[in-house]
Amino acid sequence: MSIIYEALKTTDSIKKEDKEISGRPKPKFKIPRKIVYIVGILIVLGILTLLAGKLLKGRPSIFREASKKFPTMRKGLSAKITPLSITPDERASFLVKKIPPLFLNGIFLSDRRYVALINGQAVGVGDSIEGVQIEKVESDGVVIKFEGSLFQLSYP
C-alpha cells in the first residue's frame, strides 16, 4: 500500500505545482476578433477626425472674410432701395413704396458665385423672395426685379 500511497501523493503534488506555475486564470469568454477589429478601426477614425478638425479650425472661413469686408453683415442694417433707371419716373417712386421691406444682411461667395443674405435667407440669381426676383448678385449689392422694373439693393 505504501507504493500506491506514494504515487497518489506525487500526482497530487504535481497538480498543485502546475496550478502555481500557471498563475493566471483562464478567461471565461473570448471577444471575437471581428469586434476587436471594428472597435480598433472606429478608434482610429475618431482620432483622425479630431486631428482633421484641429487642423482645419485654424483656417479662416469665407464668412469671416466677407464679414470683415462688409461690416453691415454683422450688424444686419436695412438696405436702401434705389431704382436703376437714370431718368426719374413717377411709376418708379410708386413701386419703391410697394416693394416689400428687404434687408440686405450680407453678400458672400459660395461655390464660386455670390449669394446674398436678404431678410436672413440665402438667395442667389434666379431666386425670388417675397415676390421680388433676384436678377444679379455682385460684391457691392443686389439687382432685383419687381413688376418689370430693376432696382439696386445695396448697403446703407
pLDDT digits (tens, 9 = 90+) for 110-121: 788 889 888 888
Q: What is the separation of C-alpha 89 from the centre of its chain, rounded to a whole number of angstroms? A: 46
Cβ distance 66 to 109 under 8 Å? yes
pLDDT for res 41: 96
What is the domain partition of the chain in residue ranges?
2-57, 65-154
Judged against a pLDDT cut of 70, whether residue 82 lies above it is answered with no
pLDDT tens for each residue of 40-56: 999 999 999 888 877 76
Three cell numbers at 39? 472597435
Across the chain, mean pLDDT equals: 75
pLDDT for res 97: 55
pLDDT for res 109: 84
At 154, the amino acid letter reads S
At 120, the amino acid letter reads G
